Amino acid sequence: MKRLLILSAVLMVALSGCDTDLFNSGCREIGDSGYSLCRNDNGSTVFYLEPNHQEPSGGGVLDGTVQSIGWDDKVIVASRQSTFRGDPDGLMVVDIASKKVDGPIDPSLVAKMHPTIKLSKAPDAWSGLR
């Protein structure tokens, strides 16, 4: 019993010094979409869209940071700033069923195709998710 207690204490100290988020606490699931909005605080705070239960990959499925985001049960719409500055910024649409990512797409076309989706700034959306 004493060994188990000592081992537990050693593990707690060792793991608390790791620079790894073992429980992916910076990510919050977006409903039943299979995706999470992940916050990265290395330097300035940025947000990525990632598949659930995966470590943030430095660009996510949108190959860029999420500036604003909204969703329904069929799609996720996000305004992204591309990671690679040669790629255009803009609205990206993720089809939840097929996992297909399209974009950037003209905002007027997105508004016509998905009129019920309202975008929220990424920090506000992340705060609203649990």
- 8 A C-beta contact, residue 69 and residue 37: yes
> How many separate domains does the chain show?
1
Residue percentage of the chain with pLDDT more than 90: 67
The parent domain of residue 75 ranges over 23-128
- Coil, helix or strand at residue 24: coil
Residue percentage of the chain with pLDDT more than 70: 80
Q: Is residue 111 part of a domain?
A: yes
Q: Is residue 34 part of a domain?
A: yes
Return mean pLDDT, the chain: 85
pLDDT at 37: 95
Q: Does residue 15 surpass a pLDDT of 60?
A: no
Q: Is residue 5 part of a domain?
A: no
How many Å apart are CA 102 and CA 72, to the nearest integer? 16
How many Å apart are CA 79 and CA 65, to the nearest integer? 8
Which pLDDT band holds residue 9 (cuts at 50, 70, 90)?
A: low
pLDDT at 27: 92
Q: Does residue 26 surpass a pLDDT of 90?
A: no
Q: Is residue 15 part of a domain?
A: no
Question: What is the reported pTM?
Answer: 0.79
